Amino acid sequence: MTAEGTTTGTTTGTGTGTTTGTAAADGGAVRRALLVVDVQPTFCEGGALAVEGGDAVAEGVARYAAAHRDRYALVVTTQDWHVDPGGHFSDDPDYVDTWPPHGVAGTAEAELHPALADLRPDVSVRKGEYAAAYSGFEGVDPQGRPLADVLRSAGVTDVDVVGIAESHCVRSTALDALALGLRTRVLGDLTVPVTPELGAVARAAMAAAGAELTTSDHL
């Protein structure tokens, strides 16, 4: 009875046989996670590294998650959580590789945005304690589990990525999700780039890597 599948790795294709990977190959065993990336006051209006539209994203994510929690096997938040991230911080930042101090661990700005007070995520991961970390997949949960392990152990096959900023941490998180073989959608109305130009660049990169760019009202 127990067929040994020939599939290796984490393909999302239509292979037959039994796999232990992350694929939902045989008839729609989709398990989707909502990845809420870096929705923190530090990246919103009035924050240390404010992105215009950040507060609106926070409120939109909160509304969406409250209305559609049943779509998700898992809701995960990520936070930039810097203790001493070395050259990620600079007094003379170039806003490419170096930034003004932001997301400082233990400060109110680094907490989840107050709009998410009722989100009650299943898992919260933090990243960047001692080095730059754009992707949520560089983060770990309170038990020290990397995000990829969290999703794998929950049987997650698909992710929806939302949050701040589309051009940076959302982009990196989506690209890492795709690299892990997760079907990945980015909900454009629930994210915002640092600038429109960088947003366009990010969307092109995510689409080229296989992400589906959509909006929450199209789901």
Helix, strand or coil, per DSSP, at residue 86: helix
The two structure tokens encoding residue 8: 């290796």
For Zn ion, the closer of residues 64 and 134 by Cβ is 134
Q: How far is the CB of 161 from Zn ion (least distance, A)?
A: 17
Q: How far is the CB of 49 from Zn ion (least distance, A)?
A: 8
38 is catalytic: yes
| Angle between helices 196-208 and 171-179 in degrees, nearest 10 | 0
Q: How far is the CB of 12 from Zn ion (least distance, A)?
A: 30
For Zn ion, the closer of residues 80 and 158 by Cβ is 80
For Zn ion, the closer of residues 169 and 211 by Cβ is 169
Beta bridge partners of 160: 34, 185
Q: How far is the CB of 190 from Zn ion (least distance, A)?
A: 20
Q: How far is the CB of 143 from Zn ion (least distance, A)?
A: 23
Strand 183-192 relative to strand 212-214: parallel, antiparallel, unpaired? Answer: parallel
For Zn ion, the closer of residues 103 and 188 by Cβ is 103
Q: How far is CA 179 from CA 50, 114, 208, 210, in A?
A: 29, 32, 12, 10
Name the catalytic one among 44, 127, 158, 160: 127
Tell me, what DSSP letter sits at residue 150? Answer: H
Name the catalytic one among 55, 160, 169, 176: 169
169 is catalytic: yes
Degrees to nearest 5, angle at CA 165 with 217 and 75: 60
Count, residues near Zn ion per rule CB under 5 A: 1
- For the segment 70-109, give every residue that binds Zn ion (CB under 5 A): 80
For Zn ion, the closer of residues 80 and 138 by Cβ is 80
91 is catalytic: no
Burial class (CB in 10 A: 0-12, 13-18, 19+), 98: middle
Using CB positions, name the residue nearest to Zn ion: 80
CB 175 within 8 A of CB 205: yes
Q: Active-site residues: which are they? A: 38, 127, 169
Residue numbers of the site for Zn ion (CB under 5 A)? 80
